[in-house]
Structure 1
């Protein structure tokens, strides 16, 4: 027992000597893997995304439609059938005037062009030729023959007394399949129906007299003669386009027998 008390006293004294004045500070524990890291500065929470209104649907594009096609032009009328009795009366009258002509087979060139009973003429009377030979309807040539006998010859004796006797009428166009004024489009010409003839000049014993523009103020007899033809031709033909009436008729006279409502005539 005394030994045990002595050992305890020695141990107590030893502990009292070794203990420092300040007790040791425990070291911080190393961070554990599962510990939450130190929080940084507070991060503001994300604003909730605003709900956007649904985009308005794009207006439907107007469907592109092709321009309506132009309606096709009406088909040209067929070649007009001529009355046989009227035709025979016409040719009989031509013979009585001393005209030289021959009848031809029916012409049908399509597109409305043609003559049911065409006539090819070389002389308007025993005294006056038509050059070159012209093909047209009998009615067209009969009116020209009458106008030559009743108007051109007596007017020339007064207006062109120094030119001598009328020998020939020069024609620039009879039957020809084409549009008016030779255009690509438009109405068919009366030439294409055999209803028209163009006069370019008159041939006298002393030479030719061309169809030309006659100013209204021109004082000479030649101009008076041309103006007389321009006006009086409308007594025989339903259409008269005198020289200078438009750009297409500057050097010839157009004559035709086109039928119009009420007997209307177009002369200029």
Structure 2
């Protein structure tokens, strides 16, 4: 009768071989790296690395000059050389012939560029709005009496802001669908009186000096607007 072989040694040997293979495979697997410490987190794609060489970022856009702003706003003007006439002097000199939206300046007037910017703001935010509200029309021409003029104040004693190109005298306005309006005395309660009062008051936040009819004997027929700088931003609005 043939002898039967005990299978146990083969089974045990096979199991040992499988265990050794599994252990070897486990040794070949690279364990995952731990997450970075919060204080050493890698820079994200949205954040530039602090290790970039100096000057690698785009340089800041230079600030616009005053004439560049006038051009962008749609002002028609010519730049002029600085003026020096004894004590009278004008810097940032421009000759303005038209404000935005076809609002003509007549005659073309010599002034500082910042004063021209003030006229643009006043024309757009005040004059055009009040002309539509009170007169139901659009302003088309700003009538200027004096802009740059080398002279003293009418009261004497010191140079006028006109001597620095820093003031204009508005004598009146013309409109699309209405006759011209002259600065002066208008019938109380009339649309013209309401318009003149509104544009005069609306000029006060824009200009540092606003003088008109009733302020004194020298300004009964025009609005004097200037950008004279005073201590503590003191303004005169009369």
* TM-score normalised per structure 2: 0.70
Deviation at 1:214, TM superposition (A): 5.2
Q: Distance in 2 between matches of 1:210 and 1:198?
A: 12
Q: What's the counterpart of residue 107 of structure 1?
A: 83
Q: Which SS does the other structure have where 1:248 is aligned? A: coil
Ranges in structure 2 where 5+ consecutive residues have no aligned partner: 1-61
Per-residue Cα deviation, 1:31-86 (whole angstroms, up to 9, x for no partner): xxxxxxxxxxxxxxxxxxxxxxxxxxxxxxxxxxxxxxxxxxxxxxxxxxxxxx98
Give the corresponding residue for 1:259.
Answer: 229
Q: Tell me the residue number matched to 1:226.
A: 196
Runs of 4+ in 1 over 6 A off after TM superposition: none
- In structure 1, which of residues 158, 170, 175 is the aligned counterpart of residue 148 of structure 2? 175
Which of 231, 236, 247 is the matching residue for 2:217? 247
* Aligned counterpart for 2:105 among listed residues 126, 130, 143: 130
Deviations 1:95-122 (A, max 9, x none): 1221000111121110x20112311010
1:6-45 equivalence runs, <5 A:
none
| 1:214–1:264 CA distance, 2 compared to 1 (3 A) | farther
| Equivalent in 67, 72, 81 of residue 91 of structure 1 | 67
Instruction: Give 1:189's aligned residue.
Output: 160
In structure 2, the partner of 1:201 is 172
Q: Is contact 1:172–1:197 with CA below 8 Å preserved after alignment?
A: yes
* Corresponding residue number in structure 2 for 1:153: 128
Distance 1:214 1:229, change over 3 A: farther
Return the offset for 1:209: 0.8
Q: CA deviation at 1:237?
A: 0.2
Equivalences, count: 176
Matched, 1:118 2:93: yes
**Tell me, which stretches of 5 or more residues in structure 1 are unaligned?**
1-84
Q: CA deviation at 1:246?
A: 1.2
- Distance in structure 2 (CA, Å) of the matches to 1:117 and 1:219: 41
Distance 2:234 2:170 in 1: 22
- TM-score, with structure 1 as normaliser: 0.62
**Is the partner of 1:180 in helix, strand or coil?**
coil
Query: 3-state SS of the aligned residue for 2:116?
Result: helix
1:176 aligns to what SS in structure 2? coil
C-alpha distance in 1 between matches for 2:109 and 2:101: 16
CA distance in 2, matches of 1:207, 1:244: 24
1:220–1:126: structure 2 CA closer, same or farther, 3 Å change rule? closer
Alignment partners' CA distance in 2, 1:194 and 1:98: 21
